[in-house]
């Protein structure tokens, strides 16, 4: 079998075109969706990602700005900045780029962001609502993955979904979203024994480990759908996923590439959440 490639970047652009129309309509009502991103330090990889978000915002007509703070900024300085943004009516979405330096408590920062502006979906209020299946901001990477599966007509209900990784930003929430869609979900992580026994029984395998090309064809089930979340930079500067694309694409029925797979969908869902926030805060659709 040769897998169909799930073209995340293509789907992302299509969705952004649709979102641009919605933004035009909001602007006619005097609402300009606005996203503010806060980034600490000037790590080049983070910066390239943040610039990607800026370009994608412009594509949809969403306005965005980036607040750059030094890596040495204190937790209180960051909290003060968030307080200003929480109270600024022009700002609909707030994203603080993670991870944060050691001296800042990430949880304090996440909880300081107003749940009404929590476009990352990381606030405990958002997580609680996701868990109970209520309307809220869903985390961008998991929502992007769900949107890709649904757009390609891949059945989730009754299927065995195996997630490798249990981070708060990817692994845990993507499993929860698939559970909400009636999959049977198994989580694997670094303490899992005989992981291959699980991955070989997966109809849908989500790989979010951050280890280059470790999942190979012998680990997967014939005809399964493989979602590669990993982003690893090789010595030559190019990006590669956690999945060995070449061998796995000969056995799977669907596979996402890296780059141009999950990444562009993550950014698109961030913009979708920003539109949702703008509508929520201005009472549109209420
Ligand atoms: N495409 C996109 O939009 C995004 C991509 N990413 C990328 O996805 C990857 C994962 O990100 P994130 O979730 O933040 O990463 P984390 O490092 O927070 O989590 C990695 C997870 O993988 C597990 N793991 C690591 N090694 C193994 C192993 N050998 N066997 C089994 N499980 C293992 C860890 O287990 P344990 O919990 O036991 O330590 C952990 O749960 C990264 O490459 C990141 O760059 C992240 C966000 C968005
Ligand atoms: N608060 C917060 N929210 C996040 O969502 C968040 C974060 N912090 N910290 C970092 C991770 C990582 N992440 C990526 C999203 C898209 C691409 C992406 O679009 N990648 C392109 C390639 C880009 C390139 O070429 O550099 C692709 O896969 O095709 C990458 C990485 C979001 N994260």
Q: What is the CATH number of the domain that holds 252?
A: 3.40.50.720
Residues 60 and 146 grouped into a single domain: no
| Residues contacting ligand 2 via CB (< 6 Å) | 48-49, 52, 95-98, 120, 140, 231, 239, 258-260, 263-264, 266-267
Whether residue 5 is contained in a domain is answered as no
259 preceded by cis ω (within 30°)? yes
Residue 199 has pLDDT above 80, yes or no: yes
Q: At what angle do helices 8-28 and 140-151 cross, to 10 degrees?
A: 110
Residue 182 has pLDDT above 70, yes or no: yes
Whether residue 191 is contained in a domain is answered as yes
Residues 235 and 186 grouped into a single domain: yes
How many domains would you assign to the chain? 2
pLDDT tens digits for range 70-116: 999 999 999 999 999 999 999 999 999 999 999 999 999 999 999 99
Whether residue 25 is contained in a domain is answered as no
Whether residue 274 is contained in a domain is answered as no
pLDDT tens digits for range 105-162: 999 999 999 999 999 999 999 999 999 999 999 999 999 999 999 999 999 999 999 9
Q: Which helix (H) or strand (E) holds 240?
A: strand 239-240
Per-residue pLDDT at 286 = 64
Whether residue 227 is contained in a domain is answered as yes
Question: How far apart are the C-alpha atoms of 182 and 157, rounded to whole Å?
Answer: 5
Domain extent for 97: 30-114
Residues 147 and 105 grouped into a single domain: no
Q: Which protein residue's CA is at the shortest distance from atom 31 of ligand 2?
A: 263
Residues 110 and 144 grouped into a single domain: no
Flag whether the pTM goes above 0.90: yes
Residues 148 and 223 grouped into a single domain: yes
Q: How confident is the model at residue 45 (pLDDT cuts 50, 70, 90)?
A: confident
Residues 176 and 240 grouped into a single domain: yes
Ramachandran angles phi, psi of 186, nearest 5°: -125, 135
Residues 228 and 150 grouped into a single domain: yes
Question: How far apart are the C-alpha atoms of 142 and 54, rounded to whole Å?
Answer: 21
What is the widest separation between alpha-carbon atoms in the chain? 57
Last-in-domain residue among 79, 99, 114 = 114
pLDDT tens digits for range 222-271: 999 999 999 999 999 999 999 999 999 999 999 999 999 999 999 999 99
Query: How confident is the prediction for the chain on average, in pLDDT?
Result: 96
CATH code where residue 66 lies: 3.40.50.10860
Q: Which protein residue's CA is at the shortest distance from atom 17 of ligand 2?
A: 263
Identify whether the C-beta of residue 86 lies closer than 8 Å to the C-beta of residue 94. yes
């Amino acid at each position: 079998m040769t897998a169909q490639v799930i073209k995340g970047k293509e789907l992302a652009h299509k969705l952004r075109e649709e979102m641009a129309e919605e933004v035009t309509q909001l602007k006619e009502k005097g609402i300009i969706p606005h996203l503010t991103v806060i980034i600490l330090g000037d790590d080049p990889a983070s910066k390239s990602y943040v610039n990607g978000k800026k370009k994608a915002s412009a594509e949809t007509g969403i306005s965005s700005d980036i607040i750059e703070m030094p890596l040495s900024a204190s937790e209180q300085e960051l909290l003060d900045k968030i307080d200003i943004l929480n109270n600024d009516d022009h700002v609909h979405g707030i994203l603080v780029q993670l991870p944060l330096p050691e001296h800042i408590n990430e949880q304090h920062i996440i909880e300081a962001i107003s749940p009404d502006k929590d476009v990352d979906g990381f606030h405990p209020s958002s997580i609680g609502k996701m868990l109970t299946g209520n309307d809220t901001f869903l985390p961008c990477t998991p929502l992007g993955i769900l949107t890709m599966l649904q757009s390609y007509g891949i059945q989730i209900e009754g299927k065995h979904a195996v997630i490798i990784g249990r981070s708060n930003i990817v692994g845990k929430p993507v499993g929860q979203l698939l559970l909400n869609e009636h999959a049977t979900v198994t989580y694997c992580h670094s303490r899992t024994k005989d992981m291959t026994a699980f991955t070989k029984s997966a109809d849908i395998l989500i790989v979010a480990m951050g280890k280059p090309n470790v999942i190979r064809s012998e680990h997967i089930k014939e005809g399964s759908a493989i979602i590669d979340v990993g982003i690893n930079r090789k010595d030559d500067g190019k990006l590669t996923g956690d999945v060995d694309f070449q061998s796995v694409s000969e056995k799977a029925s669907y596979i996402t590439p890296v780059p141009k797979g999950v990444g562009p969908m993550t950014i698109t869902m961030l913009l979708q959440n920003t539109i949702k926030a703008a509508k929520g805060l201005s009472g549109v659709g209420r």
